[in-house]
Structure 1
Amino acid sequence: MSSSLVDASEARKARLLALRKRKAGADGDDAQDSEHPVKHRNFDPETRQLRKYAGEDATDTVERVVDGLAEKIIAEDAERRNQELDVFSIAPKRPNWDLKREMERKLAKLERKTQEAILLLTRQRLAAQKGQGQDEDILGAMNAQVRQQEAADSSDED
């Protein structure tokens, strides 16, 4: 089993060596590769030193982009602070928004009671139109209405 692993590793090494030779033959840079093994755009092979950045106008750096930006922001902030405080910008656009918010809660209770009253009146009219047991339906509806008002009054007191 170990002999098969050794054979497989030797076959792989041979394939990699053949691939390297084929790649080197396609480039035709065998002589240059041996003279300058390190290829970097910031490396000077003659002096064996790192090159300094020579292109001034090649790209914008972050420092150039933000140069003067801090002073501009500080000046704008100082200008805003020096301006007179505008009362209209502080005041709410709708001065009664808090009143509307509080009234919505109370109106929700009234809306519920209104819907119940409309339903009661509708039932009374339907019962009157049928003509069957008109007195009993009206009396029962009136008793139910009285009970609902008492229940609502007790819940409002809580």
Structure 2
Amino acid sequence: MERHVGSLQEQALKRKERLKALRDKQIHGREQEDEEPEKKKASLEETTEEKHRELKLRNYTPEDEDLKERQVPKAKPASVEDKVKDQLEAANPEPIIEEVDLANLAPRKPDWDLKRDVAKKLEKLERRTQRAIAELIRYRLRGSEEVLAEAVGAAREDEGDSD
């Protein structure tokens, strides 16, 4: 709120300064006018000529021949139909597929939704299967260790007999 009030005060001060500058110009302008009226009239004539050079008559048909030269030729309105056609053409994208192909709409594999629904259960079963396989391997290794131990024991016995 304070910023707003401060900016308003600053704007008011700037306005006051501009008004003071304008008043000073008017006062000084009157003094110069009294002193040099001929120079002032010459400068006014030059500014009016410059203004006439910039004058362009668009909606007014002058009667004076000099002013008719400054008249701007009437603009022809653009065809609305052409503009609308261009906009419609730009707005309508070209059709990509004209016919609906059922092969593109149907899933590649008809059982994809069943696999999706069963995926969580299959993950649990996969973990259990891996554990079961690991246990079977351990069991066989234990059995082969026992068989290997028996074979080593039998080999020692055979060596002991041949000595």
For Structure 1 versus Structure 2, the TM-score category normalised by the shorter chain is: 0.3 to 0.5
Q: Which has the larger radius of gyration?
A: 2
Query: TM (normalized to structure 2)?
Result: 0.33
